[in-house]
Amino acid sequence: MQEEGIRIGLIGAGRIGALHAGLISTRVPGARIIAVSDVVADAAHAVATEHAIPVVEDDATRVIGRNDVDAVLICSATSVHEEQVVAAAKAGKAVFCEKPLAFDLPSIDRMAEAVEKHNVPLQVGFNRRFDPVFSRVQRGIANGEVGELHTLRIISRDPEPPPIEYVRNSGGLFVDMTIHDFDMVRFLTGAEVEEVYTVADCRVDPAIDEVGDVDTAIIMLRFTNRVMATIENSRRATFGYDQRVEAFGSEGAISTDNVYPNTATVSTGESVRRDLPLHFFLERYTDSYVAELSAFVYAVAQGHPTPVSVFDGRAPLVLGEAAHRSHREKRPVRLEEIDA
């Protein structure tokens, strides 16, 4: 690689693309973004201006094809991930792609075939693996601090539902939201799921029901090693971003609280209280985004495997499809039914 480090082409200058651009320019050593593209020209120009990115394109293929780009950061719409990942692989570029990789398994399989054929690294943007809180839970389980793991519980609730146009095109709750939790159950347990059962409904916003989705769900999972897990999701928690985990085993438990902007507690004759948790993912998971981008840059620079593989991007989509089928058919679904 060049002396200035990994030269990155950013594809997609929306909310997550702009976030990554800011972090790379200020907190991720060994890399710099030299070109950005977005179908919305104003978005690309705004990110380029703010972060001193010298090249702006309206076509992702022109960024991917640049000789001075070592790696591409794909933060575009999920519907175009496949064509962009395959194009980057053919061009010999390392790839970081935001989740979900795709809305269907054949698309992900074609991506996997392309990166293997052209021998390029690909990392999937499951940033919560890099969160220090959840990483501590993973270590506690892996190190046997709780003994043999029996149950795992994940609570993941957003502070407010997304715009209805987003819901209409997002792939649904199990793909755009729960997919992070599906990745987390695999990451935390180190095991694979064999059966999924879902109970879900619309309890937050009738408009979500009208476009055929749900906003509240409880998903039960049984693993091949007999661990049982539950994931509880809601599109709205009035008190802020609710992100908690509990792992229970034969020798004890390890659990996490929400992350707060400060540690102050106000005690009076009427109540004992504290400020609300951090409001949403941009605030809650900033450090994890820095860590995942740094891990990608390090892997590319050193020629090491990326820490979150194509398979890690594929497995949560299998779980999402199983959860959706379970909800639709009101029965437990074995993963072999989805991925025979």
Question: SS3 for 223-290, per residue?
Answer: ECCCCEEEEEEECCCCCCCEEEEEEEECCEEEECCCCCCCCCCEECCCCEECCCCCCCHHHHCHHHHH
- Specify whether 193 is located in the same domain as 98: no
- Specify whether 206 is located in the same domain as 92: no
Per DSSP, 91 falls in state T
Beta partners for residue 334, in sequence order: 195
Residue 1 within any structural domain of the chain: no
- Specify whether 237 is located in the same domain as 331: yes
- Specify whether 45 is located in the same domain as 141: no
- Specify whether 96 is located in the same domain as 224: no
- Specify whether 43 is located in the same domain as 104: yes
- Specify whether 95 is located in the same domain as 193: no
Domain end residue (candidates: 74, 94, 120): 120
Give the model's pLDDT for residue 2: 46
User: Measured between alpha carbons, how far is 261 from 279 in angstroms, rounded to an integer?
Assistant: 9
Q: Which helix (H) or strand (E) holds 7?
A: strand 6-11
CA geometry: angle 167, 173, 177, nearest 5 deg: 100
Residue 256 within any structural domain of the chain: yes
CATH number at residue 40: 3.40.50.720
- Specify whether 158 is located in the same domain as 267: yes
Place of tokens 């962009």: 84
Beta sheet of 94-97, edge-to-edge order: 55-57, 31-37, 6-11, 71-74, 94-97, 122-124
Task: Give the Å distances, CA to CA, from 309 to 58, 112, 124, 279.
Answer: 29, 9, 6, 30
List the one residue out of 132, 86, 126 whose CA is nearest residue 109. Answer: 86
Residue 56 within any structural domain of the chain: yes
Residue 307 within any structural domain of the chain: no
User: How many domains does the chain contain in total?
Assistant: 2
- Specify whether 136 is located in the same domain as 59: no
User: Measured between alpha carbons, how far is 136 from 132 in angstroms, rounded to an integer?
Assistant: 6
Domain end residue (candidates: 78, 102, 120): 120
List the one residue out of 18, 70, 26 whose CA is nearest residue 44. Answer: 18
- Specify whether 116 is located in the same domain as 210: no
Domain end residue (candidates: 120, 143, 160): 120
| The dihedral formed by the CA atoms of 232, 235, 240 and 246, expressed in degrees to the nearest 10 | 10
Cβ(158)–Cβ(234) under 8 Å? yes
Tell me how far the alpha carbon of residue 288 is from its chain's centroid: 11
List the one residue out of 280, 108, 99, 105 whose CA is nearest residue 184. Answer: 99
- pLDDT < 50 positions in the chain: 1-2
Give the model's pLDDT for residue 340: 66
CATH number at residue 161: 3.30.360.10
Residue 17 within any structural domain of the chain: yes
Place of tokens 């509880």: 232
User: Measured between alpha carbons, how far is 31 from 123 in angstroms, rounded to an integer?
Assistant: 16
Domain containing 276 equals 129-286+316-338
Residue 242 within any structural domain of the chain: yes
Q: Are strands 228-234 and 149-157 parallel, antiparallel or unpaired?
A: parallel
Residue 87 within any structural domain of the chain: yes
Beta sheet of 242-249, edge-to-edge order: 252-255, 242-249, 149-157, 228-234, 216-223, 193-201, 333-334
List Cβ neighbours of 333 (8 Å cut-off, separation of 6 or more).
195, 196, 197, 322, 323, 325, 326
Give the model's pLDDT for residue 121: 98
User: Measured between alpha carbons, how far is 54 from 211 in angstroms, rounded to an integer?
Assistant: 41
Give the model's pLDDT for residue 339: 86
Residue 296 within any structural domain of the chain: no
- Specify whether 217 is located in the same domain as 111: no
Tell me the pTM.
0.95
